[in-house]
Structure 1
Amino acid sequence: MTLRSVFKGWVEHYFSDEEAVILLVVLVLGFAIVIWLGRMLAPFFTSLVIAFLLQGAVSWLERRGIPHLLAVILIFLGFIGILLAMAFIVMPLIWNQLVSLVQETPRMFASGQELLDDLQARYPNLVTPDQIQDWIGAAGRELTQVGQRALTLSLASLGNVLALIIYLVLVPILVFFMLKDSDRLVGFMLSLLPQKRTLMTRIWQEMDDQIANYVRGKFVEIIIVGSVAFLTFAFFGLPYSALLALSVGLSVLVPYIGAAVATLPVAAVAGFHFGISDQFFYVVVAYGVIQALDGNVLVPILFSEAVNLHPVSIILAVLFFGGIWGFWGIFFAIPLATLLKALVQAWPRGIKGHSEHQAVEVLSEE
């Protein structure tokens, strides 16, 4: 058996159906547009994601008898209200705490050095002066790199003011029209596809509700976990509560890894502020309770309809799509992995199963 015959058999097995070839072309074009034109079309893709999230609320109002245009206006005004609240209330608070944290970093660094010296005095056989100097040197280099990155980011952001203004103007306009004319836009996109699209329709119907529920559920999970974390940290008097709560809320985007990474800043700030005391352990235990309730109560409620993916598949999806598309890649890693799983299961068995189903229908009619 030659390589040519093997390749020919593989092509005939997977691409003998015309619809499978068209679906492959659509997928390749879609990924190519996102990869090569993603930066240029970023406002459009951002608006598309937001409109996709808000469409569920618009449909919910329509099912209760509210006209489409009025439902769109109400949801759009709520969206604008949330943006204004974040711009004038949440973001200034987080920015002020971030500035305070940067200013207090040298004092925290000195406290850490005192703690290492105390450990060396207590356990001279386990912690040597050379190890302490190595740790201090490594921490100093990391702080220097963080400072350089922050300076580079701040200088680069000066040139992005125009881009931010474009986002603030274009994104709300695009979101409004995507919600208002959603049926026309979807109809136009469907008109570009061939009439025979049974496989694509089945895959889209399978994925639509799952992706929508996942994305909306993630936003709700971020808000709930971040809010509860902020109230908990504020109750214990932990400094930088808003900044830490933001990191804890965003940590739910990365399954398994995010919770572990978010633990470090929470424990570090609590340790520097309270020392190794009862208050420190109270904060750590409360944070552990939040993570436990999120994983065992909130996630099953929000994602009861989610498909079952192996943890290895989830981590690989986060690494792969996060490396390609950054934040949005991490956010949509699980839906994209679910889409790939649906494609693998439906291709080519979905085509074969559809043919068998049609044959059964014909026989039953006869």
Structure 2
Amino acid sequence: MKIQNAFRVGLVGTLGVGVGLLILFSISSLSTIIAYIGAALFLALGLDPAISWLERRGLPRWASILIVMTGVGLLVAALVLAVVPIVVDQVSQLVEEIPRIVARVNSQDWLEGLQEQFPQVPVDEISLQVTTAVTEFFTNPEKLSELAGGVLQVAIAIGTGLFAVVIVFILTLYFTASLNSMKRATYQLVPASKRERFADLTEQITQSVGRYVLGQASLAACNGVASFIFLSIIQAPFPAVLAFLAFLFSLVPLVGTLTGSIVIVLVCLIPGLGSPLTALVAAIYYLVYMQVEAYFLSPRIMNRAVKVPGALVVIAALAGGALLGILGALIAIPVAAAFLLIIKQVVIPRQNER
């Protein structure tokens, strides 16, 4: 009898471990789809305050959703049309420059200048090695196939990114349209005695997260527009691309604007693209802008969102970025805000009652 019980316990334990591993492997295999769903739900919560604002102005919900989603689609299309042609143009210029680069390497002009500056350097040996390496690279079929394979991988990555944008946009549209029904269905899963409290807390969390997302997107848009205008005035390299980078980095709270500013200043320092004076002016501008954002824009735009301590913002952004990349860094801050709200509304009152 003991052996049978031991066998039964071992069998059940083994099946439990197997089911657990199956769930983990399933989650790992579906990580991309889960990321799409999370991003779409995140965007739906962020767009819900704008939709609710239009509803309070007398518009039906379907019309409010149509207006907001059309605006988001036009914004995404404008960003793509502003960035993609510039990238394609720069790549085509690089391809056109390849024969000239090979010709310059094979010529002796740069070697003569090198010999004059550094008489002790074995110029002839360097010339032979560089010429051989460049010629071999552009004449070797294997090297060219590797280069073509890299270009193909980049093209596939761009196509995958565009497909992901389309999928997330469609899921966002569905989630936005059915957000209220999804909430009501979730409330039905909670016991009736706790349903009202659960619904109230859920509404607070979703509204707070939505306002946080909308406020952060507004701050990022301000940074992107202001960066494009300023960078165009000082004739910085690729102002549209750099402004787009400023917008993307600013979506990450607290550390995003600083990181994007550093990247833009470093790009302005690249020889042949910018100059030290341009980089210095850009650095001064972003120092001033960060002060304006911290003390003027952010308090007014984010005044209705949950306040998250700065240290928790950094920790949450780093943890979310390590787990899910840029998407994780974006989602981590509202999730931290939701946990703070739960602690304030549930945990602390219960502790005070004891």
Query: TM-score range, shorter-chain basis?
Result: 0.5 to 0.7
How high is the sequence identity, in percent, across the aligned residues? 22
Q: Distance in 2 between matches of 1:200 and 1:153?
A: 52
Tell me the CA shift for residue 242 of structure 1. 1.8
- Structure 2 residue runs of 5 or longer lacking an equivalent are 1-23, 102-116, 118-146
Other-structure match for 2:282: 283
Compare 81-90 and 228-237 and name the one that shifted more.
81-90
Other-structure match for 1:88: 81
Other-structure match for 2:57: 64
Tell me the CA shift for residue 305 of structure 1. 2.9
For the Cα contact (< 8 Å) 2:317–2:329, is it kept in 1?
yes
- TM-aligned CA distance change 1:93 to 1:159, over 3 Å: closer
Other-structure match for 1:221: 219
Task: Encode CA deviations 1:313-351: one digit per residue, 9 max, x unaligned.
Answer: 221111112111211211122222222333344554333
Q: Distance in 2 between matches of 1:343 and 1:230?
A: 40
Tell me the CA shift for residue 233 of structure 1. 0.7
Q: Distance in 1 between matches of 2:76 and 2:86?
A: 15
Other-structure match for 2:135: none
> What secondary structure, in the 3-state scheme, does the structure 2 residue paired with 1:239 have?
coil
Tell me the CA shift for residue 64 of structure 1. 1.3
Tell me the CA shift for residue 221 of structure 1. 1.0
Other-structure match for 1:317: 316
- Structure 1 residue runs of 5 or longer lacking an equivalent are 1-30, 108-120, 122-149, 357-366
> What secondary structure, in the 3-state scheme, does the structure 2 residue paired with 1:46 have?
helix
Matched, 1:180 2:177: yes
Normalised to the residue count of structure 2, the TM-score between the two structures is 0.65
Compare 234-243 and 261-270 and name the one that shifted more.
261-270
Q: How well do the aligned residues superpose, as a CA RMSD in angstroms?
A: 3.7
Q: Distance in 1 between matches of 2:95 and 2:253?
A: 28
Equivalent in 29, 35, 46 of residue 42 of structure 1: 35
State the one-letter code of the partner of 1:81: L
Q: Distance in 2 between matches of 1:34 and 1:324?
A: 14
- TM-aligned CA distance change 1:350 to 1:286, over 3 Å: same
Other-structure match for 1:245: 243
Equivalent in 188, 191, 198 of residue 191 of structure 1: 188
Q: Distance in 2 between matches of 1:285 and 1:304?
A: 27
For the Cα contact (< 8 Å) 1:199–1:351, is it kept in 2?
no
For the Cα contact (< 8 Å) 1:44–1:174, is it kept in 2?
yes
Other-structure match for 1:267: 265
Compare 65-74 and 322-331 and name the one that shifted more.
65-74
> What secondary structure, in the 3-state scheme, does the structure 2 residue paired with 1:192 have?
coil
Q: Distance in 2 between matches of 1:153 and 1:215?
A: 36
> What secondary structure, in the 3-state scheme, does the structure 1 residue paired with 2:33 have?
coil
Other-structure match for 1:339: 338
For the Cα contact (< 8 Å) 2:45–2:206, is it kept in 1?
no
Larger RCO, structures 1/2 (Cα 8 Å, 6+ apart): 1
State the one-letter code of the partner of 1:184: S
Normalised to the residue count of structure 1, the TM-score between the two structures is 0.64
Tell me the CA shift for residue 60 of structure 1. 1.5
Tell me the CA shift for residue 203 of structure 1. 3.7
Q: How many residues align?
A: 281
Compare 209-218 and 185-194 and name the one that shifted more.
185-194
- TM-aligned CA distance change 1:268 to 1:178, over 3 Å: closer
Q: Distance in 2 between matches of 1:345 and 1:101?
A: 56
Task: Encode CA deviations 1:212-261: one digit per residue, 9 max, x unaligned.
Answer: 11100111111110110111011011112122222222332444543443
Other-structure match for 1:360: none
Tell me the CA shift for residue 183 of structure 1. 2.6
